[in-house]
Amino acid sequence: MKKPPAKLLIALAVLFVVQAFVSQSLLFPTWKKNYSTGELRIDRGLNADQLLASLAGLREMVAGILWVQTDQYFDTGQFDAVLPLIRLVTWLNPRQVEVYSTGAWHIAYNFTDEQNRSDRRYIPIALRLLEEGVQNNPNTYEMYFEVGWLYYHKIDDDYWQAVHWFEQSVEKKDILPARKGILFKAYEKNGQLDDSVSWLWKLQQEAEEQYARDGDNLSRVRRDTNERNLNNQLIRMTQRGVFGRRAGVYDQWPYDTHNPVDLNFTFSIRVIEPKVLRVTGTWGIPTTGARVRMQLFDEDYDLKWEPAPDLNFDRDKDRTFMQDELYTQNGRFDRKIDMSRNPNMYPFRAEKYKVVFSYNPRSAPAHIQDKIGWDGEGMTDQRYLKVSERYKNTDGKPGVRILYAEVELTRDQILMRGEYANGYVYNSPGYVPVEGTAGPEVVIPRSLRK
Amino acid sequence: MNQIIAIAATTVGEAIRRRVLLIILMVGLAFLIIAPSLNELSPRGQQQTLIDISIGILRITAAILAVTLTVYLLPNEVERRTIYTILSKPVYRYQFLVGKYLGSVIALALMIGLMTLVVILAFGIQQQTWSLDKLAPLIKVPFMMIFQMSLLAAVSMTFSTFVTPVINFFLSGLVWIFGTLINPIFERWGAEGQASDAISLIARVAHYAVPNFSNLDIAQGAASAATTQIRGSEAVYMMNGIIYAVVYSAILIVIAVLVFDRKEL
């Protein structure tokens, strides 16, 4: 056998070094940054043909097909099948931001009981999915925005988290102008009023510049909207005495938040059937738009609005956590809460439960905040007023005054067992029975209010 | 050079005469079957999924074409004894091999180009958009696919110098699968401390030596909804990818020439 020519072997060696250099130094670092699919997890949960297709470089295609399948499952109400598929799709194609956002929405919002209360035990799981989305797609605004929105809208609590995530989203180049505005509301809910004005001012400047540049209808509308938001915010801060307080003249002027409205909150919890409660109560907010938050949960269940350590949907399956927003009309509320039809959501395994009623002025609609203020300075209650350190202020004021009432129920009481076989009633001090429907709304014009 | 061009031209002609148009028609048909089933998704989800699936169909078809075009190139010539007629003329073996390879690459590029055109037309009509922004993934990814498949064709070509077509088909398939996973494997196990020393060493050696098809796959970035996620210049990355594909294909063709030169015909 003749020997291969030396020149050819040298050329081969040189070419090999060149390809190794190009691959290792020029391509792989950029590939890792831009095209990596993250951790190699193609082996889990795929059937044989899907696995084969994934191995043949068709991960995105398999992910696409599975995503269509996921959507069909969702439309037909097969929620149990949805979650593993979402997991699979994000493993196969971690760059598809829509899967994270839609998946987290499904998890956080759409697993509901018969009365459309969502299963809040899944919120940490939704946060976890979104957190993964952020890690895999750090350069687009969307994932940051989605996390912020979940805190702002669904959790409607821990507003500093909404601020934290929205602030990161607005720094990304691809953010849509219309989505920048929400940050000012998050600042407001978090008590950062000056930041909210600064942000609105910045948006207003941007919109003004864009209008001067483009002069089209869209940029005009955007400019007008920002201007209106900024004006409203300044007017509200003025009317609610924010500037007056800073100038030390708050007590000298008739601000709306003077003469705090006495909530005189009372409530009653009646167990009318096993796992069925009728909750009634009264308070001093006469108009609609305010909802009292009610939570019922295992006494030792500390459900935190933080990302779960992993996407395990069975983790808290033995825990009970119910949250409802009680609609109030004419200063009263009356709601039947039926937890009997969803044993998976409300397993009632613990011996003791906490029932919490709360109202946070930061979550209140604007027309109610006009009276009670952002910090609850315009409301009082002889029994259940609490100053919450959770909602701090940035201007050195004490925490927000919130309404907070807490009682304990036992498993036997909720399940009507033993001595509670005929039911159980808890009436708060001063409770006035609420009978019949609330009737038509009574709107009290501002001029007639005390 | 003339000999190489003549052989390449003949190879292209042969490839086109096969029932390739039927395959292209099938790609378009597959697209039309899939597209309406995506109507339930959100508009953006629909577009994204359509792009992902279209690119997937293109890739699998192109990979099958690349392998089937090349595995029979040499064996057919030997079986039909046409190779003796060609090599009896003033044509070196390396010229024959390079000509055959270039011809199959040109044929592949033509087929991928035609399939891409079908997909773009179907996508544009289905989505009622001709915006370059929306169509960009369907142009960029198939463009890189041409180089990816040229590399795969080089793999098959090299194998065809010493194994039978059936074995070649499976060997090339294995190299394709391994080559598409090589970057994720290296990312997962190649770095120190990620796995045992032996596995880490194997991952590193493989990353240097195995044809890396994942280097040429820009679908994750290009086809994702937010192309703004790409950091650095995509054009520079694509250019480096092309250089890599050309250099690695050259290595394989040189190996093929070395083997073919010593082969008893």
Which H, E and C letters describe B172-199, residue by residue?
Answer: HHHHHHHHHHHHHHHHHHHCCCCCCHHH
Give whole-number Cα distances, A87 to A91, A92, A125, B199, in Å: 6, 9, 11, 28
Across the A/B interface, how many CB contacts are shorter than 8 Å?
Answer: 175
- Cβ–Cβ < 8 Å for A410, A416: no
pTM listed for this prediction: 0.77
Nearest chain A residue to B237 by CA: give it: A27
Which residue in the block uniquely carries the two structure tokens 């294909």? B249
A32 vs B183: CB contact, 8 Å cut-off?
Answer: yes
On whether any CB of chain B is under 8 Å from the CB of A40, the answer is: yes
pLDDT category of residue A395 using cuts at 50, 70 and 90: low
Q: pLDDT at residue A46 above 80?
A: no
**Two structure tokens written together for A393:** 């202020």
Mean pLDDT of B190-210: 79
pLDDT category of residue A444 using cuts at 50, 70 and 90: low
Q: Lowest mean pLDDT of A45-49, A221-225, B180-184, B224-228, name the range.
A: B224-228
What is chain A's mean pLDDT, rounded? 87
- How high is the pLDDT of residue A195? 95
Q: pLDDT at residue A437 above 60?
A: no
* Longest pairwise C-alpha distance within chain B: 63
Q: Which of B38, B41, B199, B236 to mutate to test the interface with A (most CBs of A within 10 A)?
A: B41
Q: Convert A40-78 to b/e letters by CB count within 10 Å (16 or more is b).
A: bbbeeebeeebeebbbbbbbbbbbbbbbbbbbebbeeee
Which among B37, B48, B223 has CB closest to A98? B48
B45 vs A102: CB contact, 8 Å cut-off?
Answer: yes
pLDDT category of residue B32 using cuts at 50, 70 and 90: low
Q: Which residues of A touch B138 (CB under 8 A)?
A: none
Which residue in the block uniquely carries the two structure tokens 């089209």? A216
A57 vs B59: CB contact, 8 Å cut-off?
Answer: yes
Q: pLDDT at residue B33 above 90?
A: no
B56 vs A60: CB contact, 8 Å cut-off?
Answer: yes
- How high is the pLDDT of residue B226? 47
- In whole angstroms, give the CA distance from residue B66 to residue B60: 10
Q: pLDDT at residue A304 above 60?
A: yes
- How high is the pLDDT of residue A90? 85
Which residue in the block uniquely carries the two structure tokens 């109507």? B39
Between residues B41 and A103, which one has the greater pLDDT?
A103
A96 vs B231: CB contact, 8 Å cut-off?
Answer: no
Between residues A46 and A81, which one has the greater pLDDT?
A81
State the sign of the Cα–Cα–Cα–Cα dihedral A113, A119, A125, A131.
positive
Chain A residues 134-153 within an 8 A CB cutoff of chain B? 137, 139-140, 142
What whole-number percentage of chain B has pLDDT above 70? 85
B176 vs A67: CB contact, 8 Å cut-off?
Answer: no
B183 vs A53: CB contact, 8 Å cut-off?
Answer: no
Find all residues with CB under 8 Å of B99, minimum gap 6, and list them.
B3, B4, B5, B6, B7, B8, B10, B11
What whole-number percentage of chain A has pLDDT above 70? 89
Mean pLDDT of B118-131: 83
Between residues A294 and B46, which one has the greater pLDDT?
A294
Mean pLDDT of A154-166: 94
Q: Min CA distance, B263 vs chain A (Å)? A: 10
Nearest chain A residue to B245 by CA: give it: A19
Which residue in the block uniquely carries the two structure tokens 């001012």? A201
CB atoms within 10 A of CB B37: 15
Between residues A426 and B208, which one has the greater pLDDT?
A426
Q: Convert A413-447 to b/e letters by CB count within 10 Å (16 or more is b).
A: bbbbeeebeeebebebeebeebeeebeeeeeeeee
**Backbone φ, ψ for residue A400 (5° rounding):** -75, 140
Q: Min CA distance, A146 vs chain B (Å)? A: 15
Domains, chain A, ranges and CATH?
Answer: 48-243 (1.25.40.10), 261-448 (no CATH)
Mean pLDDT of B123-141: 84
Q: Convert B178-208 to b/e letters by CB count within 10 Å (16 or more is b).
A: bbbbbbbbbbbbbeeeeeeeeebeebbebbe
Beta bridge partners of A335: A279
What is the domain count for chain B? 1
- How high is the pLDDT of residue B93? 84
- How high is the pLDDT of residue A39? 56
Q: Which residues of A touch B154 (CB under 8 A)?
A: none
Q: Min CA distance, B130 vs chain A (Å)? A: 22
Chain A residues 97-136 within an 8 A CB cutoff of chain B? 97-98, 102
Would you give the end-to-end CA distance of chain A in angstroms? 110
On whether any CB of chain B is under 8 Å from the CB of A8, the answer is: yes
pLDDT category of residue A168 using cuts at 50, 70 and 90: very high
Question: Which residue range is the domain that position B20 belongs to?
Answer: 2-261
State the sign of the Cα–Cα–Cα–Cα dihedral A223, A224, A225, A227.
positive
Amino acid at A76: T
Q: B152-177: per-residue pLDDT in tens?
A: 999 999 999 988 889 999 999 999 98
B225 vs A15: CB contact, 8 Å cut-off?
Answer: no
Q: Min CA distance, B33 vs chain A (Å)? A: 13
On whether any CB of chain B is under 8 Å from the CB of A55, the answer is: yes
Which among B240, B250, B262 has CB closest to A22? B240
Which among B55, B212, B230 has CB closest to A61? B55
- How high is the pLDDT of residue A89? 85
Q: Which residues of A touch B250 (CB under 8 A)?
A: 15
- How high is the pLDDT of residue B9? 85
- How high is the pLDDT of residue B225? 46
Q: pLDDT at residue A145 above 90?
A: yes
What whole-number percentage of chain B has pLDDT above 90? 21
A36 vs B42: CB contact, 8 Å cut-off?
Answer: no
- How high is the pLDDT of residue A26? 87
Q: Which residues of A touch B208 (CB under 8 A)?
A: 20, 23-24
Q: Lowest mean pLDDT of A200-214, B25-39, B45-59, B112-126, name the range.
A: B25-39
Please state the three-class secondary structure of chain A as a single string: CCCCCHHHHHHHHHHHHHHHHHHHHHHHHHHHHHCCCCCCCCCCCCCHHHHHHHHCCCHHHHHHHHHHHHHHHHHCCCHHHHHHHHHHHHHHCCCCHHHHHHHHHHHHHCCECCCCCECHHHHHHHHHHHHHHHHHCCCCHHHHHHHHHHHHHHHCCCHHHHHHHHHHHHCCCCCCHHHCCHHHHHHHHCCCHHHHHHHHHHHHHHHHHHHHHHCCHHHHHHHHHHHHHHHHHHHHHHHCCHHHHHCCCHHHCCCCCCCCEECCCEEEEEEEECCEEEEEEECCCCCCCCEEEEEEEECCCCCCCCCCCCCCCCCCCCCCEEEEEEECECCEEEEEEECCCCCCCCCCCCCEEEEEEEECHHHCCHHHHHHHCCCCCCEECCCCEEEECCCCCCCCCCCEEEEEEEEEEEHHHHHCCHHHCCCEEEECCCCCCCCCCCCCCCCCCHHHCC
Q: Min CA distance, B104 vs chain A (Å)? A: 22
**Two structure tokens written together for B128:** 């009622």
Instruction: Reduce the DSSP state of residue B165 to 3 states and report it.
Output: helix
CB atoms within 10 A of CB A264: 16
A56 vs B176: CB contact, 8 Å cut-off?
Answer: yes
Amino acid at A393: N
Q: Which residues of B touch A136 (CB under 8 A)?
A: none
Between residues A51 and A217, which one has the greater pLDDT?
A217
A140 vs B228: CB contact, 8 Å cut-off?
Answer: yes
> Which residue, among A364, A361, A369, has the nearest Cα to A387 in the 3D structure?
A361
Task: Find the helix packing angle between B234-261 and B93-127, rounded to 10°.
Answer: 150
- How high is the pLDDT of residue A37? 66
pLDDT category of residue B46 using cuts at 50, 70 and 90: confident
pLDDT category of residue B178 using cuts at 50, 70 and 90: confident
Amino acid at A95: R
What is chain B's mean pLDDT, rounded? 82
